[in-house]
Amino acid sequence: MPSTPAIEFDSISKQFGDVTALHDLDLTVEEGEIYGFLGPNGAGKSTAINILLGFLPPTDGQATVLGYGTQTESTTLRQHLGVLPEGYQVYGRLTGREHLEVAAESKGATPEYDRLLDRVGIREAADRKAGTYSKGMTQRLVFGMALVGEPDLLILDEPSSGLDPNGAKEMREIILEENDRGTTVFFSSHILSQVEAVCDRVGILRAGSLIAEDSIQGLRQTVDTGDVLTVSLDSVTDDCVTAVETLDGVSDVQTERRELTVTLDGGSKTAVLQALESTGAEVRDFSTEEKSLEELFTAYTEPEGRSA
Ligand SMILES: Nc1ncnc2c1ncn2[C@@H]1O[C@H](COP(=O)(O)OP(=O)(O)OP(=O)(O)O)[C@@H](O)[C@H]1O
């Protein structure tokens, strides 16, 4: 029997007056996955997360988390979740340690506080009031609260916000450790290198609809325009250059000694290699310069579509 998905949005729509924040969203995250939820500002990510947490009712459709209805069973559900909401306000007068104690009490958990404080890197500041924490320390504390009780699912909204590169790396390591323990992770982010470093799959939301969903590698393969292909040949002749230049979807060809550098604009790498071989040239090696994640993201989320 298939296991219950960790997260399931089933035809979810959310309307705020005239604004359609989510439009007929279907999205499934399987148990044990690390899923990156990407999208430009205003795409609907926070709305989707608030629906998951039972903070907002959908206008249409149904959502379940760990098999629980988000509208009907959100209290029980939250016992199994670790949540790092965007812009969480700490209680200025409580210490870091007291925050963890409050989280533990609400979940009926008995964490090893010092170990947890160490893990998120705030043990030395644990007995200071959280109102005196820096932005990054606050984020570490809220992440620590999310980890209380070994949750089955972590929902993290922009988790690396406010963290320095080391802090972001430590957080990624913890996410991977938690996932090894069996926790499913769903996180939204604008920091694409973060997503690439840890996610099994990503979904890209634009204007309330999921416009792409795949592994990062799969997304790269789909948006393969603008890639640069470098081919090493036994010798570069004028015939080689002409054969490639006249192909559809090739926007530029440069030569340097025995190398041909071809910029593709929708053209196929295989067609380039075949065209070269048809001139009698011997292809010795080739490599492709991949699109950066930023370019990928732009290609999917620019209003005019995949135009990068
Ligand atoms: N309470 C609300 N009332 C009216 N409109 C809202 C409300 N909450 C969200 N919206 C609108 O819904 C759309 C989606 O917003 P949402 O906050 O979910 O986007 P987001 O992807 O989380 O954006 P960001 O990356 O900027 O945080 C936006 O157009 C926003 O203005």
Pocket test for ligand 1, best of 13, 14, 16 (most atoms within 8 A of CB): 16
Is 301 contained in some domain? no
Give me ligand 1 centre to Cα 234, in Å: 56
Pocket test for ligand 1, best of 19, 209, 297 (most atoms within 8 A of CB): 19
What is the CATH classification number for the domain harbouring 91?
A: 3.40.50.300
The pLDDT, as a whole number, for residue 62 is 94
User: Which residue among 220, 239, 267 closes a domain?
Assistant: 220
Instruction: Kindly state whether residues 48 and 174 are assigned to the same domain.
Output: yes
Instruction: Kindly state whether residues 164 and 244 are assigned to the same domain.
Output: no
The pLDDT, as a whole number, for residue 301 is 73
Is 187 contained in some domain? yes
**Residue partners of 240: CB distance under 8 A and separation at least 6:** 233, 260, 276, 279, 281
Instruction: Kindly state whether residues 59 and 175 are assigned to the same domain.
Output: yes
Question: Could you report the per-residue pLDDT of 233-253, keeping only the tens digit for each?
Answer: 998 999 999 999 999 889 889
Instruction: Kindly state whether residues 87 and 194 are assigned to the same domain.
Output: yes
> What residues are in contact with ligand 1 under a 6 Å CB criterion?
16, 19, 21, 39, 41-47
CA distance 81 to 38: 21
Give me ligand 1 centre to Cα 165, in Å: 28
The pLDDT, as a whole number, for residue 308 is 37
CA distance 230 to 259: 7
Which pTM value belongs to this model?
0.78
Give me ligand 1 centre to Cα 206, in Å: 12
Is 2 contained in some domain? no
Domain containing 230 equals 226-289
**∠ Cα 274 279 284 (to 5°):** 65
Amino acid at the residue 212: A
16 CB burial (10 A radius; 0-12, 13-18, 19+): exposed
39: left (phi over 0), alpha (psi -120 to 50) or beta: left
Q: Quick check: ipTM above 0.85?
A: yes
Give me ligand 1 centre to Cα 156, in Å: 17
Largest separation between any pair of C-alpha atoms in the chain? 77
The pLDDT, as a whole number, for residue 305 is 42
Instruction: Kindly state whether residues 77 and 15 are assigned to the same domain.
Output: yes
CA 86 to ligand 1: nearest atom: 27
Is 252 contained in some domain? yes
Contact 188, 203 (CB under 8 A): no
What is the CATH classification number for the domain harbouring 280?
A: 3.30.70.100
The pLDDT, as a whole number, for residue 221 is 67
Instruction: Kindly state whether residues 109 and 211 are assigned to the same domain.
Output: yes
Instruction: Kindly state whether residues 180 and 246 are assigned to the same domain.
Output: no
Q: Which residues of the chain have pLDDT under 70?
A: 1-2, 192-193, 220-226, 290-294, 303-308
Within 13 Å, how many C-alpha atoms sit on residue 296's CB side? 28
Pocket test for ligand 1, best of 12, 13, 15, 47 (most atoms within 8 A of CB): 47
The tally of domains found in the chain comes to 2
The pLDDT, as a whole number, for residue 265 is 79
Give me ligand 1 centre to Cα 70, in Å: 19
Question: Could you report the per-residue pLDDT of 53-103, keeping only the tens digit for each?
Answer: 999 999 999 999 999 999 888 888 888 999 998 888 899 999 999 999 999
Is 103 contained in some domain? yes
